[in-house]
Amino acid sequence: MSLNAQLESSYAVLMQQTDKLTGAFIQQKIYKAGFDQRSDKTINLLEKLDLHIKSDITYDVFCELLKDEDIAFYQRLFEERLVVPDFAGFCESIQEIYSQLQLDQKGKLPTYIPELKKVDPDQFAIAACTVDGQQFHIGDYKSRFCMQSMIKPVLYALALEENGIHYVHKHVGREPSGRNFNELTLNDEGLPHNPMINAGAIMSCAMIKKRLSPAGRFKHITNALSDLSNSHKITFNNAVYNSEKETADRNYALGYFMREHKAFPKDADLHRTLNLYFQACSIEVNSEILAIIAASFANAGTNPITQKEVFKPETIKNCLSLMYSCGMYDYSGEWAFSIGLPAKSGVSGGIYVVIPDVMGICIYSPRLDKLGNSARGIEVCKRLVERYNVHNYDSILRCPNKISLTG
């Protein structure tokens, strides 16, 4: 479709929706779709519309307003053809679930990393970002927390991008372990079972930018997170890092156990590898940032806001496969059965969920269940899957009693 045809179509659609097309009407249309003045995709047009809040928008004015904008994107927005057409309805559902669970106090704070038991246990946030860049968040979505095990898919992706799948899986398996996430065990080949448990994530760190300085290797990880999230607010919690090191006997034991079995690449430095792992687990984000990271995974490795490809689609396919089967500690099998989506949790209380080709969702609530997952986060996901046809195999059932998220 030509540029003029796109403009004509978009203008006609808007004119059918109101008796008087004003800047305020178009702004409300954009807000309802999941964008605001902070959204890179819409900030310029929203600012220009401020000058036309109450005045009629003629076709000529409309063309002038959109001349430097992404016309194809706005055509889909105005015609309600974004990936989640009824984004306002989805936001209402999230608000309802949030309200239902706000007073839920099931679970306990973790104690084995001293710094993690100092957080406010009542914090609760839900954030979402679609592959079109639509965003919503509620609750304590600005509260920062350490990534802990939630960094593991990113470490695995970085190792894959640098070394390729065959090299990486000479050193780490890809089967669920059936054991605790930090258990002192290897598979029959003397390798960590998969990259989503501690031993496997330590192995991923051993394969990331080995020739760089320790600072350079850590910067490589944070740069990837910044690219995935379009955020320069990726921070580091030194207190948690020191707490991690002081209570890391099991992780040191895993490292020596793998070295004894010659699982590491030949030139790996065990102590530098472990230190990088502790640093990576101590990286801080918030729910809003992590939802965009999850959306980049949902968008085949391309940030939906900047359109920058961070990871190749093949890398993301492999990551999501292991997140689906191994991402939720010892709850992974039940999660795959009941929720049916790739996800990763961390003992800081976060869970991020990937709905491929649709969106990423992050839930933060620090109280954990007996398996180390956010108790309230699990409940949020259960209620989402009860309401929307997002389970991996809902398409088989056609699910007449569920809402179609994508229209």
- Residues that are catalytic: 149, 152, 277, 329, 347
Angle ∠(60,66,70) on CA atoms, nearest 5: 150
| Three-class secondary structure of residue 32 per DSSP | helix
**Alpha carbon of residue 318 to chain centroid:** 16
Dist. CA 335–CA 348, nearest whole Å: 19
Dist. CA 196–CA 323, nearest whole Å: 7
C-alpha distance from residue 264 to each of 193, 220, 326 (Å):
13, 20, 21
DSSP state letters, 322-343: HHHHHTTGGGHHHHHHHT-S-E
Does residue 87 contact residue 33 with C-beta atoms inside 8 Å? Answer: yes
End-to-end CA distance of the chain: 23
Contacts of 46 (CB under 8 A, 6+ apart): 27, 30, 35, 36, 37
Does residue 113 contact residue 247 with C-beta atoms inside 8 Å? Answer: yes
Dist. CA 93–CA 42, nearest whole Å: 24
Burial of 56 (0-12, 13-18, 19+ CB in 10 A): exposed
Does residue 83 contact residue 358 with C-beta atoms inside 8 Å? Answer: yes
